[in-house]
Chain A
Amino acid sequence: MLPPEALFVLDLLATFVPYVIVTLSLNLEYGFAGVPNFGKTLAVAGGAFMVGLLPGRLLAAFLGVGEGMDYVAQNAFIITAINSRLSSDIALSFGTLLITLVAVVLFGAFLGLIMSAPVARLRMDYLGMTFLAVGEVLLVIGNNYPPLVGGTLGIATPDPFSWASNYSIFSLSGGEMRNLTVTAFMLLMALVVFLYVQRLTHSPLGRVLRAIRDDENSALALGKDARSYRIKVIVFAAAIAAIGGALYAFYTANVVATAYSRVSWTFWPWVMVILGGAANNLGVVVGTFVFVTVRKLIVFYKDIFAPFLPFDVVWLDLILLGLALIIILIYKPGGIIPEKPIDTIRVGPVPGTPGKAGGAEGEVEGKEKGTAKGKRTGLWGRLKPHRPA
């Protein structure tokens, strides 16, 4: 048995990971490219709906479970049968997981492509309004069309981690082992997404995006097609956000359309990004962690406040976070960890041209030796940043 503190941390991390993936993708869009995506929930819901839609039906057909049954109406029975097979077949579990995640990424990218359609034509304010409106579409459809994700009742999803409950370390119960495994897998996914986004934003592409964000006309003058870069970013970000939604669905092992509301998956991620620091991936991770921790702590200690307050404590933390967001926007617009200057290579005067002799000499020397200055340093293979004084 895990102590309540450990359960709290586990639950915290399991909520943190889907959000951090979504906020990293939003940071790519808003922080780096300046796209005001107020329809984040569309891609997140898309990923989650794919998990409710695809793996259960695939496995039911593959394993021959529930033939002649209505997948949605007999959902509980079919999922129980599938899970009992999955729990003894690790290869099948991981195969399902992999196929689903690939489908999720493709569907997310497709949704991103749809969302990027108005980007070329509209100004930022119109774009924000359009994104907000488009973001609700999947929720409305999912909530009212039961074959998709069970309508208002929701739908259970196959659990590709149920095999973990057969093993036990430190005398943990089966359910705890399962949650531990899911959380570990999700953390791994979050790490992969973080490294990917970090590489992407520190590549030349990341610099082009910032250039477009800061001064579109200058970027156009340098031959950078702002429109196609924005479309690319929205598609990538939607694919990443869909992974976040899918992981959330896998963790909770069910999908209910109403869970993917504008507030939970658009507004909260925005608060997290601004809180942590737009255009700084590490800052966004910190911001997400702070937001999720504050919420979880308030819910954890809810019983202590409850007798004194004539309302649900959950609303109080939203007020706190809303206020925090306003204060940060006004007084510390950079967030907890503000954006860093762009990494550049220290380039001395070109050899053979007039310039400061010392600097040129040093550079050439460094290049010739091939290690000291030209070598890639640091974890992300970035060059030593040069900060103009």
Chain B
Amino acid sequence: MLDINVLLDAVVFSSLLTLLTMGLTLTYLTTKVPNFAHGSLGTVGIYLSLIVTRVLGVNIYMSIIPAFLVTGLVGVIQYILVLRPLDRRNASITTMMVATIAFELLLLSSLNILADYLSKTFFILSRYFQLKSYDFTFMDIRGVAFVAPLLVVVIIASLYFLLVRTKFGIAMRATIENSPLAGTVGINSNLVYLASWFIAGGLAGVAGSMLPLWFIGNPDTGSYLLISIFAAAVIGGIYNIYGAVIGGFVIGFAEILIIRLLASMGPPFGSWVIPYRPIIPLLAMVIVLMLAPRGITGTDFRKLATKFRRR
């Protein structure tokens, strides 16, 4: 019932989801707006890896670096052109959310244009594509199953190092805690915001660049992932960047294992449940929001338990 491929499926998906969720949480912590374009930032990474492998003919794992840099830059552009002007005009949260939707429309149509351009100019498959054949195998297991979790570990470690050991990281945390107060002690909060948007976009790009090695890439892949990302961020606790790791793995494993489990069961379940996978992050999100809206890392479980006992 639970063969190794299902497990690997869950591990790869959870790792990519974790990277995407960390970026979303980071921008939420600084700008206080859920970025509705975050999924499509990941799609930018997907197309960068397509260009690197199919057009430039370079090893797909080399695409991690340009994906991090270019997508990070896109994130910075989104902050400078869309969110910062609104923030300076004291726009409401809803207005800012709408602005991220506008950027999502821009990204989505730009990616579609890029896909059309790639297929018409270089005659490569640029929609519903996979890059499985560009991966290496190790012990009959495709390389990305090792690389993706390894990336998560490396990125968490370096993020921890950045936030705890460096002066800039401490300045970042101070800005997240209380931006005006951080400003009074001479921290350049503008630079901190730019850095967090760059890192967030970069992480999304890295996740995207690995995605076509295991899953199918399309201009709207990231938009479809958006609900899973939101669910992971909310479940992990959107006020804690390490919560994204918990949330990413909980949602990633839940989506894949629950669906496989139900699909392998007899009637009334069976293989017909597979397309209903998007319902799982939604249900998980609704349940968590109703019971513990601050997520796993933000909830005082002892308090919650006593609350239930009293009832």
Interface string of A310-334 (1 = CB under 8 A from B): 1110011011011101100110010
Which of B117, B278, B289 is close to A118, meaning CB atoms less than 8 Å apart? B289
Write out the residue numbers on chain A whose beta carbons fall within 8 Å of the beta carbon of B28. Answer: 125
With A124-B93, A137-B282, A140-B275 already in contact, the answer to whether A312 and B116 are too (CB < 8 A) is yes
Asked whether A110 is an interface residue with its Cβ less than 8 Å from the other chain, the reply is no
Which of B32, B36, B106 is close to A322, meaning CB atoms less than 8 Å apart? B106
Write out the residue numbers on chain A whose beta carbons fall within 8 Å of the beta carbon of B33. Answer: 125
Nearest Cβ distance between residue A273 and chain B, in whole angstroms?
Answer: 9
Write out the residue numbers on chain A whose beta carbons fall within 8 Å of the beta carbon of B85. Answer: 330
Which of A133, A137, A315 is close to B230, meaning CB atoms less than 8 Å apart? A133
Q: How many residues of B contact A (CB 8 A)?
A: 51
Do B109 and A124 touch across chains, with their CB atoms under 8 A apart?
Answer: no
CB proximity to B under 8 Å, residues A99-147: 118, 121-122, 124-126, 128-130, 132-134, 136-137, 140-141, 143-144
- Complex Cα distance A318/B175, Å? 36
Asked whether B227 is an interface residue with its Cβ less than 8 Å from the other chain, the reply is yes
Write out the residue numbers on chain A whose beta carbons fall within 8 Å of the beta carbon of B286. Answer: 118, 130, 133-134
- Complex Cα distance A34/B92, Å? 10
Do A129 and B105 touch across chains, with their CB atoms under 8 A apart?
Answer: no
With A133-B231, A133-B281 already in contact, the answer to whether A118 and B290 are too (CB < 8 A) is yes
Write out the residue numbers on chain A whose beta carbons fall within 8 Å of the beta carbon of B156. Answer: none
Asked whether A161 is an interface residue with its Cβ less than 8 Å from the other chain, the reply is no
- Complex Cα distance A128/B32, Å? 13
- Complex Cα distance A325/B108, Å? 15
Write out the residue numbers on chain A whose beta carbons fall within 8 Å of the beta carbon of B230. Answer: 129, 132-133
Nearest Cβ distance between residue A310 and chain B, in whole angstroms?
Answer: 5
Write out the residue numbers on chain B whose beta carbons fall within 8 Å of the beta carbon of A315. Answer: 109-110, 112-113, 116
Asked whether B70 is an interface residue with its Cβ less than 8 Å from the other chain, the reply is no
Asked whether B167 is an interface residue with its Cβ less than 8 Å from the other chain, the reply is no
Which of B86, B106, B275, B293 is close to A122, meaning CB atoms less than 8 Å apart? B293
Give the residue name and chain of the A residue nearest to B284 (CB).
A133
Write out the residue numbers on chain A whose beta carbons fall within 8 Å of the beta carbon of B155. Answer: none
CB proximity to B under 8 Å, residues A13-60: 30, 34, 36, 38
Do A318 and B120 touch across chains, with their CB atoms under 8 A apart?
Answer: no
Write out the residue numbers on chain B whose beta carbons fall within 8 Å of the beta carbon of A323. Answer: 102, 106
Do A329 and B94 touch across chains, with their CB atoms under 8 A apart?
Answer: no
- Complex Cα distance A136/B224, Å? 10
Give the residue name and chain of the A residue nearest to B104 (CB).
A267
Which of A38, A263, A319 is close to B106, meaning CB atoms less than 8 Å apart? A319
Asked whether A239 is an interface residue with its Cβ less than 8 Å from the other chain, the reply is no
Asked whether B101 is an interface residue with its Cβ less than 8 Å from the other chain, the reply is yes
Nearest Cβ distance between residue B55 and chain A, in whole angstroms?
Answer: 15
Asked whether B157 is an interface residue with its Cβ less than 8 Å from the other chain, the reply is no
Do A136 and B278 touch across chains, with their CB atoms under 8 A apart?
Answer: yes
With A140-B279, A315-B112 already in contact, the answer to whether A38 and B89 are too (CB < 8 A) is no
Write out the residue numbers on chain A whose beta carbons fall within 8 Å of the beta carbon of B82. Answer: 326
Nearest Cβ distance between residue B193 and chain A, in whole angstroms?
Answer: 17
Which of B81, B91, B105, B293 is close to A267, meaning CB atoms less than 8 Å apart? B105
Do B34 and A129 touch across chains, with their CB atoms under 8 A apart?
Answer: yes
Asked whether B234 is an interface residue with its Cβ less than 8 Å from the other chain, the reply is yes
With A36-B94, A118-B290, A121-B289 already in contact, the answer to whether A330 and B282 are too (CB < 8 A) is no
10 nearest A-B residue pairs (beta carbon)? A311-B116, A322-B105, A318-B109, A144-B275, A325-B102, A315-B109, A322-B106, A311-B113, A36-B94, A129-B230
15 contacts between A and B (CB under 8 A): A34-B94, A36-B94, A124-B93, A129-B230, A130-B289, A140-B276, A140-B278, A267-B101, A270-B98, A274-B98, A312-B113, A315-B109, A315-B113, A319-B110, A325-B98
Contacts A133-B231, A319-B113, A326-B81 known; 11 new A-B pairs at CB < 8 A:
A30-B94, A121-B289, A125-B93, A129-B34, A132-B230, A144-B272, A144-B275, A144-B276, A263-B105, A270-B101, A315-B112
